Each structure stands twice: as structure tokens, then as C-alpha cells.
């Protein structure tokens, strides 16, 4: 993105936790403009009714989460439950930057996806499933891989916290590569 250029952003799943956080972060970004909010379960309602802390966007009306409604944005953020992003992403234009906050594009192995996320894995019709760069630019080589990507898989909160904490120790050979992590969330 060049300085001064403004990109339009559509967020689907904007009424959930992750989508709401994306909208909150967009409010302070000088080059990104939230142009549309989408969520099937809340279509037709004002965003302010569902996310009252998002004052800059309170009057935006939530639209359905379908590919045709998302196709006009420069950037689409998919903040959907596991198993719901792949079908929409497969229908979006190739030149749209798509960022998937869900799990659909994090893993390359459908069996591993089913094991960790409890489903049958991303739909077979989705040619992108499993092939998106992992959006963790702090790791060696990732920043370069992400620079030209039009599809990005956002890592989950647990893998991010563990990876960022352990990567320096692993790189320095200070710990064994077989690591067991037990984590709990307060949400």
C-alpha cells in the first residue's frame, strides 16, 4: 500500500468478537476505510445496536455475508466461525486482498484441520484452502511471503502467543523442538 492511498474494507462477521475488533482497529487506520459490515444473523440491523463501542460506525447497516456483496472492496476480512470462510473466499475476485481470521486456511492437511477444529475441513471446492500464507510477519521469512500475498490466513490466538514466545528460544537452540503447551483463555 502506498502512502496516501485509501483502501476500502468490508468485514464479514463484523458483529462477532473478532470482527468487532477488526472494525475497532480500522477506525484508527489512516489508509483503510471501513466501507461495509456483514453478518447473516444480523443483516438489516445497525452496527451500533450490536457493537455499541464502535461509535464511528454506529449507523452502518449490517449486510448479508455473501460473496457478491463483498466483491467490491479492496480488502475483505473474513471473521467467521471455522468452516464458513472457505466457500465465500473461493468466490471473491483474485485481485481482492482477503484476510481470513478463521481457521479455514490455516492448515494444509484436511485431516489435521478436522482434528484441531472438529469438522470435516475446508470444502473441497475451495482451491485456496490450505495454501494461504500464515500472517505472522514476526517470524523469519514470513514478511517477504506476505508482502505480495492477496490471501492471508491469520493465525489463532494460542499459536500466535506460543510461537512468538518460543521462536527465539528455538532459533537459539535453547529448548528441545518437542514442546507441550497447556493454555487457557479467559474469554
Active-site residues, by number, are 157
The three cell numbers of residue 114 are 478436522
Q: Nearest-CA neighbor of 100 among 119, 116, 85?
A: 85
Cell of 112: 489435521
Report the DSSP pairing between strands 97-100 and 75-78: parallel
CA distance 116 to 125: 21
CB 79 within 8 A of CB 13: yes
- For the chain, what's the residue count? 187
Give me the residues paired with residue 76 across strands: 10, 98
Give CA 6 to chain center in angstroms. 20
Give exposure, 163-184, as e/b (b: 16+ Cβ within 10 Å).
beeeeeeeeeeeeeeeeeeeee
Amino acid at each position: 500500500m502506498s502512502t496516501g492511498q485509501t483502501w476500502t474494507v468490508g468485514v464479514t462477521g463484523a458483529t462477532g468478537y473478532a470482527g468487532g475488533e477488526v472494525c475497532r482497529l480500522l477506525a484508527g487506520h489512516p489508509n483503510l476505510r471501513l466501507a461495509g459490515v456483514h453478518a447473516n444473523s444480523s443483516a438489516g440491523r445497525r452496527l451500533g445496536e450490536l457493537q455499541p463501542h464502535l461509535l464511528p460506525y454506529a449507523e452502518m447497516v449490517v449486510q448479508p455475508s455473501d460473496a457478491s456483496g463483498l466483491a467490491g472492496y479492496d480488502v475483505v476480512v473474513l471473521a467467521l466461525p471455522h468452516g464458513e470462510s472457505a466457500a465465500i473466499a473461493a468466490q471473491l475476485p483474485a485481485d481482492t486482498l482477503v484476510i481470513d481470521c478463521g481457521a479455514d486456511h490455516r492448515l494444509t492437511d484436511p485431516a489435521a484441520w478436522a482434528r484441531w477444529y472438529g469438522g470435516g475441513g475446508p470444502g473441497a471446492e475451495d482451491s485456496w484452502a490450505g495454501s494461504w500464507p500464515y500472517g505472522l510477519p514476526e517470524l523469519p521469512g514470513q514478511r517477504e511471503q506476505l508482502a505480495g500475498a492477496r490471501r492471508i490466513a491469520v493465525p489463532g490466538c494460542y499459536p500466535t502467543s506460543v510461537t512468538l514466545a518460543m521462536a527465539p528460544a528455538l532459533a537459539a537452540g535453547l529448548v528441545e523442538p518437542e514442546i507441550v503447551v497447556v493454555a487457557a483463555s479467559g474469554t
